[in-house]
Amino acid sequence: MDTTSCSHSATRLPAPALHTTALSCAALATALALAAWVSPVRAAPAASTTVAAPAASASASCPDLLQREFPRLQDEKPQALCQYAGKVVLVVNTASFCGFTSQYKSLETLSSRYAPRGLVVLGFPSNDFGGQEPGSNKEIAEFCENTFNVKFPMFAKSVVKAGQSGLNPLYAELGKRTGQTPKWNFHKYLVSRDGSEIKSFGSMTDPLGQTFTQELERLLAKP
């Protein structure tokens, strides 16, 4: 409302009311003018901060070979192999009643010795060779812990022998890339940190022997 509108309206009112209205309009105009003069200038909104997205997804830094999940031996809870990305990975198929079962001790020693430098041993029990792993996952887990104090990751029993139905997809890929498949228990695959290099070793290769440890040392030295 401006003062002109107030004056026009006020001319039609009695004298007392006219005087009051005129004062009200004048006061209103003064108040509005004063408010406009003292009203603070609103600050411009602060520029928003944008957090840059990661340059690549987690899977992009995980080798294709490891982009798989397998149930853990102890409780069959799914485990993503990508958690081991960036490590040198030793994949070995195991059995509890084999002539090579004592290699569990060597594998655990190898794991504890080289884990600080980036090695991880992954055990995959299998009953494919000689029926030497007939027990349940729980029984296998108890055997590994109680007999050899195995602490490296172990996974549920699976098929690792080429040509059989239900073949473990990790073993299918390892066989495809190396041209070598397990012929017995405790066959070993040594995988570089980026998954680009894979070495295959037969059951008779001692995990603590010079042939194996030299190759392991070489892969651990690579970024």
Answer left, alpha or beta for residue 193, where phi above 0 means left and psi between -120 and 50 means alpha: alpha
Residue 37: strand, helix, or coil: helix
> φ, ψ for residue 167 (rounded to 5)?
-60, 130
Q: Are strands 188-191 and 198-201 parallel, antiparallel or unpaired?
A: antiparallel
Give the residue among 192, 201, 191, 206 at the shortest CA–CA distance from 104. Answer: 206
Measured between alpha carbons, how far is 218 from 187 in angstroms, rounded to an integer?
A: 20
Nearest one of 74, 73, 72, 94 to 83, comparing CA atoms: 72
Catalytic one among 25, 62, 98, 144?
98
Is 98 considered catalytic here?
yes
| DSSP H helical ranges for the chain | 3-10, 15-38, 103-114, 137-148, 169-178, 210-221
Residues annotated as part of the active site: 98
